[in-house]
Amino acid sequence: MISISDDDFDLAAQAAMDSIPDQFRPHLENVIIEVRDRPDSTLLAEYEVPEDLLGLYVGVPLEDKGVDLGGSSMPDLVLIFRDNLCEMCETRDELVHEIRVTVLHEIGHHFGLDEDRLAELGYE
């Protein structure tokens, strides 16, 4: 397990977002990244996910959004779970890498990629 300040964790998550190529950025204007300690009981029950979840995409993938949902829809949400990521990592470099992989994995869901495709791309 590694310990990191909240600010440093947030900076690593922001760096992951900043690494996304410019051509994809216009499609991320309605996506919010939120860091939480862990998934709460409501989230665990609603999405039927494990307690050690690293991240979760909550929203409608771009391919499923109709014209009506353009810019006026509620923002999509990418949740990143700090404590779970810190518990699985031994070094700061490993943690920064896992934060990046998790952020990009969840953003991949926003773009309609499924688990198999994300694994092929190295974001598992």
Cα 75 to chain centroid, rounded? 14
- Determine whether 23 is exposed, middle or buried from the number of CB atoms within 10 Å of its CB (0-12, 13-18, 19+): exposed
Sheet holding 76-81, edge to edge: 31-36, 76-81, 55-58
Domain spans of the chain? 6-120
- pLDDT per position in the chain (124 positions), as tens? 999 999 999 999 999 999 988 888 899 988 999 999 999 999 999 999 999 999 999 999 988 876 554 555 688 999 999 999 999 999 999 999 999 999 999 999 999 988 898 889 888 7
CATH topology of domain 6-120: Zincin-like (3.30.2010)
Looking at residue 74, its pLDDT comes to 80
- Please state the pTM of the whole predicted model: 0.89
